[in-house]
Amino acid sequence: MNYTDNYNPSISDEELFESIKQEREHIGYYNLVHQDTEHFKAFAKTVKQKHVVVIGIGGSTLGTYAIYKFLKYSKDLEKKLHFLESTDPIELQSKIKTIDLEDALFILISKSGTTVETISIWKYINSLVKCDKTNTVVITENDSKLNSYAKANDMKTFEIPKNVGGRFSVFSAVGLLPLAVVGLDIDEILCGAKKVYNSFFEKAHFYERILKKARFFAEYKNSFNINVVFSYSSRLEGFNKWYIQLWGESLGKIDINSTKQGLTPVGIIGPIDQHSFLQLIMEGRRDKTVTVVKVEDFHNEAQIPGIRLKGLEELSYLENLNFSYLINEQADATIQALNDLNDIPCDVISLDGVDESCIAALMYEYELLTSVVARFLYINAYDQPGVEAGKIILKKKLQG
Amino acid sequence: MNYTDNYNPSISDEELFESIKQEREHIGYYNLVHQDTEHFKAFAKTVKQKHVVVIGIGGSTLGTYAIYKFLKYSKDLEKKLHFLESTDPIELQSKIKTIDLEDALFILISKSGTTVETISIWKYINSLVKCDKTNTVVITENDSKLNSYAKANDMKTFEIPKNVGGRFSVFSAVGLLPLAVVGLDIDEILCGAKKVYNSFFEKAHFYERILKKARFFAEYKNSFNINVVFSYSSRLEGFNKWYIQLWGESLGKIDINSTKQGLTPVGIIGPIDQHSFLQLIMEGRRDKTVTVVKVEDFHNEAQIPGIRLKGLEELSYLENLNFSYLINEQADATIQALNDLNDIPCDVISLDGVDESCIAALMYEYELLTSVVARFLYINAYDQPGVEAGKIILKKKLQG
C-alpha cells in the first residue's frame, strides 16, 4: 500500500524563520531599512515650493499618508502635503482648489507607470499648470513607460525597485521622498523600522511576538476570519487605511492547494467607534480578533477645564483631566471590557509617542507580520492577480 | 410522545411585513418622513454665524456628516459645517484651529445628555469662548440632564424623541437642524426618504428589493458574514461610515435564543480601493456580499484633456473622457469582473445624481433594510447593550 499526500505540512518556527530569511534575499522590502537616504535629503533641500502634491493611488500613497497624518500636527512643517488619487471629479476638483498650483512640487508615483487614475489626473493637472523639470519628479520602476516619459522631459526620477511591491513600498522612495520634502526626519523613520527588523532577525522580542500572533491568525483563520485594528487616536486613521490594503491585498489569495484564503482587515478609531462598531465586537458572532493600538504619550497638555455646568454636575469627575489621559483610560476600559468576555482574542500595541520612529516601527511590524502569516497560509503575499480581470475589462470598454 | 421546540420559525413575507408595520407604531424613525420642518427652517433663517459646529459623537454626527460630505461641493453653501467628536487632543485642537469661534454657532447633540466625549469637548470649548443662548443650541431628549443644562442657561433646544435611536436619527432634529442651518434643502431630504417609505409600505418596488436582499443576508449569514458596500465616489465616504454604524450596532446582537449574531459591515471607496481591498474580494474566501453604489450623474464636466505625453502613448484611449464617465466605467468593469466569478453575491444601487433627495433615499433604504434583516435574525435592532460594560468600567476608573 502506497501513500502520498499534498496536505500542507505544519511549519515549525525554525522552518518559518529560515524561509523568511530566504525570502529576504529576493523580496525587496525587508532590506529597505539599510538604505542610504542622502539622495532623498539632498533633493528635499532643493525644494522651494510650499505645496507638495503626490499623484498616485493605493500603494503609491497610503503609506506616505499614514505617516504624514500621524505626524503633521505634532511637527512644525512648513510645507503642506496633498494627495490626488481618485477619478471622482468632484473630489479631484475640490482638492485641487486647496493647492497653489504655481507654488507646487508634483511627485508623480506609479510602480507600473501606466496606472489609469494617476495618468488621467496627471494629464488634467497638465491642462491647469505648466509641468516640467522645475516642478515635477517621478517615482517609478526603471524601465516603465513613465520613466521614458520622465527622461523625454528631463525630469528627475527616483526608482521603485522591481522587487518592492506597492503596498510594501513606504520605506522606499515612494514614502521617503515626499516625507523628506515636507520636512520629516526620514532617518528616524528608518531607525524605527530597523529596530523591529533587528529584533526580528536576531530572534528577540519581535520574533516571539510576530510568530505567536501570525500562528494564531493562521491556525484560527476559519473561526476568526476578521482582524480588527482598533486605533485609539484619530492620528492613526491613515495607518488603518494602509493596514487594510497591506492585509487585504497580501492575504486575500488562492493558496498552493487552489483554496481561496483571506483574512479580512477592519480598521476602526477610538473612542469614536465605541459608538459604532464596538457593539458588534462585544455581542456579535465570534469571528473577530482585535488589536488595540494606543499612543502612550500624545505630548499634549489640552485639559478638560474645571467648569461646572448646571444640570450636568454628575459628570464633574471629568474636571481637570488631560484629554490624552482620558482617551487612554477609554482605551483601557474597552480592553478590559473585551478581556472580561474571555472569548475574543485581543492584543494591545502601545506606541511610546507621536514621532517618526514609533509609526515606522508599527508599520514595519505589520509588514513582517503579513509576510509571516502569508507563509503559514501557503500563499504569495506579494502579487495581486485578482485585480487584473477588472483592468482588462475596463481597457476593452474604453478602447471599444 | 410530546414534542415542543423553540426553533426560530421562518417568517413569511406577509408576517414580516405585518411585524414591521407593528414596529412602526412604536419605533420612531419610520415616521420621521411625515415631520413638519418649519421650526428647523425658521431657526435656520435666524443664524448669522458663518461656522456651524456640531459637537457630538456616533449617531449624533455620522448621518449629518454623510449628507454634508455628499453634497458640500455640489451646493453653493455660505456656511461651513464642522464636527467635534473625538477626545484625541491633537485632533481636537487641530479642528478647533479651523473654526472662527467668535463667528460660530454650536449645536450640542447628545441623546442621553451625558455622553463623556461630548460634555468633555463642550467644557473645553467653554474655556475658549463665551457660550450662551446667542451661540448655542442643544439637541437632546426632553428629560435629559443636558436639557436641564440648556433650560438653566435659557438656550434653545430641539428634541430627539425617546423612540428614535441615535443611529436612526438622521431625519430628526439631529440631522435636519444642522443641515438646514448650512443651507441644504431639508424638505428635499425628507422627500427622498418618503419616496422609499411609500414604496415600501405600499408594497411596491422597494418592498420587493429590501425583502429579497434582507432574506438573502439573513439566510446566508453564516457563509457570508461580511457585507461590503463599495461606493464609487469619494463623496460617499461619510455614507460608508454611517452604514458601518447602522449595520454593526444594529445587527451585532444576541438573538432570542442567546446566540451571538452579527453581520460585519465593510465600507470601501472606488476606484481607490480597487488598489486595496478588491484583491481580497476577488480571490479571498467567499465570506462577503458586495453592494456597489454608483452615482449616475456627477453634474460635473471635468475632462481628461487630449494631451499626448511622450512615452505614455499607450494610454491615449483616456483622452477626452469625462472623469464622471471614467469612474462609472471603472465601477462597471469591477461589477462585471465580480459577476464573471459567479460565486460572489453582488447588487448595484445607482443614485441618479448628487442631490438631497438621492442621498436621503439611499439612507432611508438602508434603515429599512436594517430593520428587516434584524427581524429575520430575531434580534432587537434598536438597543446597544454591549457597549455598557466599557462605559461602567471607564466611570469607575475615572471616579476611583
Comparing CA positions, the residue from A138, A87, A120, A388 lying closest to residue B317 is A120
**Cβ atoms within 10 Å of B69's Cβ, excluding its own:** 20
Tally the residues of chain B.
400
pLDDT confidence band for A306 (50 / 70 / 90):
very high
Check whether A340 has a pLDDT greater than 90: yes
- Residue contact A393–B337, C-beta within 8 A: yes
Q: Is A275 part of the annotated catalytic residue set?
A: yes
Comparing CA positions, the residue from B52, B57, B70 lying closest to residue B107 is B52
If asked whether residues B76 and B175 sit together in one domain, one would say yes
If asked whether residues A206 and A101 sit together in one domain, one would say no
**Domain assignment of residue B6, yes or no:** no
For residue A233, the chain B residues in CB contact (below 8 A) are 88, 90-91
**Cβ atoms within 10 Å of A41's Cβ, excluding its own:** 16
Percentage of the residues of chain A whose pLDDT score is greater than 70: 99
Contact status of A89 with chain B (Cβ, < 8 Å):
yes
B8 vs A43, more confident: A43
Comparing CA positions, the residue from B35, B52, B54, B34 lying closest to residue B44 is B52
Check whether A40 has a pLDDT greater than 80: yes
If asked whether residues B177 and B43 sit together in one domain, one would say yes
pLDDT score of A186 = 98
pLDDT confidence band for A100 (50 / 70 / 90):
very high
Q: ∠ CA(A119), CA(A50), CA(A128), 5° rounding?
A: 40
Q: Which domain holds residue A129?
A: 28-184
Mean pLDDT by 10 residues, chain B (400 residues): 74 95 98 98 98 98 98 95 97 97 98 96 98 98 97 98 98 98 98 98 97 95 96 98 98 95 97 97 97 96 95 94 98 97 96 97 98 96 96 93
Q: Are A269 and A334 in contact (CB under 8 A)?
A: no
Grid cell locating B144: 435629559
Grid cell locating B328: 462609472
Count of structural domains, chain A: 2
If asked whether residues B176 and B194 sit together in one domain, one would say no
If asked whether residues A212 and A312 sit together in one domain, one would say yes
pLDDT score of A4 = 75
If asked whether residues A109 and A124 sit together in one domain, one would say yes
**Boundary of a domain, candidates B184, B210, B233:** B184
Q: Are A30 and A161 in contact (CB under 8 A)?
A: no
CA separation for the pair B180, B182 (Å, rounded) = 6
**Domain assignment of residue A384, yes or no:** no
Comparing CA positions, the residue from A173, A122, A169, A172 lying closest to residue A149 is A122
Grid cell locating A355: 514621532
**Domain assignment of residue B2, yes or no:** no
**Domain assignment of residue A110, yes or no:** yes
SS3 A38: helix
If asked whether residues B119 and B259 sit together in one domain, one would say no
pLDDT confidence band for A6 (50 / 70 / 90):
low
Task: Read off the CATH number of the domain in which A329 is found.
Answer: 3.40.50.10490
Q: Are A357 and A1 in contact (CB under 8 A)?
A: no
Tally the residues of chain A.
400
For residue A280, the chain B residues in CB contact (below 8 A) are 248-249, 251-252, 262, 264, 386
SS3 A84: strand
pLDDT score of B6 = 66
If asked whether residues B159 and B241 sit together in one domain, one would say no
CA-to-CA separations, B188 to A276, B33, B171, in angstroms, rounded: 27, 11, 11
Q: Is B391 part of the annotated catalytic residue set?
A: yes
**Boundary of a domain, candidates A142, A164, A184:** A184
Q: State phi, psi for A136 to the nearest 5 degrees.
A: -140, 130
CA-to-CA separations, B249 to A48, A281, B82, B375, in angstroms, rounded: 49, 9, 24, 15
Q: Which B residues, 187 through 246, put their C-beta within 8 Å of a C-beta on chain A?
A: 225-226, 232-235, 241, 244-245
Contact status of A333 with chain B (Cβ, < 8 Å):
yes
Which residue in the block uniquely carries the three cell numbers 453564516? B222
Grid cell locating B35: 415631520
If asked whether residues B263 and B219 sit together in one domain, one would say yes
If asked whether residues A220 and A361 sit together in one domain, one would say yes
Q: Which of A249, A356, A365, A367 is catalytic?
A: A249
If asked whether residues A54 and A164 sit together in one domain, one would say yes
The 8-class DSSP code of residue B82 comes to E
Grid cell locating A217: 491568525
Average pLDDT, chain A: 96
**Domain assignment of residue A34, yes or no:** yes
**Domain assignment of residue B390, yes or no:** no
Characterise B275 by phi-psi region: left (phi > 0), alpha (psi -120 to 50), beta (else). Answer: alpha
Residues linked to residue A260 through DSSP beta bridges, in sequence order? A254
pLDDT score of A282 = 98
**Domain assignment of residue B397, yes or no:** no
pLDDT score of A400 = 76
- Residue contact A74–B90, C-beta within 8 A: yes
If asked whether residues B161 and B225 sit together in one domain, one would say no
Q: Is the pTM of this model over 0.90?
A: yes
Q: Are B249 and A276 in contact (CB under 8 A)?
A: yes
SS3 A368: helix
**Domain assignment of residue B39, yes or no:** yes
Query: Could you tell me which residues come within 8 angstroms of residue B235 by beta carbon, excluding any fewer than 6 positions away?
Result: A88, A90, A91, B69, B70, B71, B73, B74, B295, B354
